[in-house]
Amino acid sequence: MPDHKVRSRRPERQRIPRIPPKEAAKIFKQCESFLADSSELFTHLREAGFGQLLAQLDEAILRLAMQPDSWGQRTRARLMSDIAAALRGDPADRHAVSAEDIVAVSNIVTPCFLLELGRRKQHLQIEFPSDPADPSARFRVSVGASRPIHSINNDQFRALVSRAGEELVGLCYFGDRESRERIETELSLATLPAA
């Protein structure tokens, strides 16, 4: 006998494709080579700007750095040790940077990797500050070509990531409308003038 009950259907969650371990190992080696070959860029990162570094990072390295597994953790840690040293101290001596500095830089730079992926997929527009870890840094973000450009400071950027991280993932990887609307709302609230 056929079942005539109406079933509610929930939309299927979009799945971010994972990089398999064998390919991840190759990409990690590519990351190591990039870092070794980019000593000049890291030496002058403050002058060149963080956006220049992102522009030179291969998309596969960015995707692997965002992957929530041991390969992603290893890639993020490797990138952060050099990025933190370049932004906080002497790029030639990444071991001189404190663990606290690496954590502070990671908390702001890791979401930048995600946003760079979204920018490359043309799901959003973003201009990164020269040093995103600088407390006075400002990010210019728009969730679409016809949407307003919002200028948010470092604290507002962190708050956006904290409140709407899942939607940022949805927007950056898939460009879905619901995520776009939520991020636009969050950006609008963040940039309202103080009463």
Quickly list DSSP for 138-160. EEEEESSTTSPPEEEEHHHHHHH
Instruction: Name the pTM for this structure.
Output: 0.86
Tell me, yes or no, whether 195 lies in a domain.
Answer: no
Total count of domains within the chain: 1
- What is residue 7's predicted lDDT score, i.e. its pLDDT? 47
Tell me, yes or no, whether 5 lies in a domain.
Answer: no
**Could you tell me the residue range of the domain that residue 90 belongs to?**
21-190
Q: pLDDT band at residue 11, thresholds of 50, 70 and 90? A: very low
* Distance, CA of 32 to CA of 23 (rounded, Å): 14
Residue 1 has pLDDT above 80, yes or no: no
Tell me, yes or no, whether 7 lies in a domain.
Answer: no
Tell me, yes or no, whether 35 lies in a domain.
Answer: yes
* Distance, CA of 19 to CA of 60 (rounded, Å): 9
Higher per-residue confidence, 172 vs 14: 172
Of 84-93, 132-141, 180-189, which range is least confident? 84-93
Average pLDDT, the chain: 87
* Distance, CA of 37 to CA of 22 (rounded, Å): 23
Tell me, yes or no, whether 133 lies in a domain.
Answer: yes
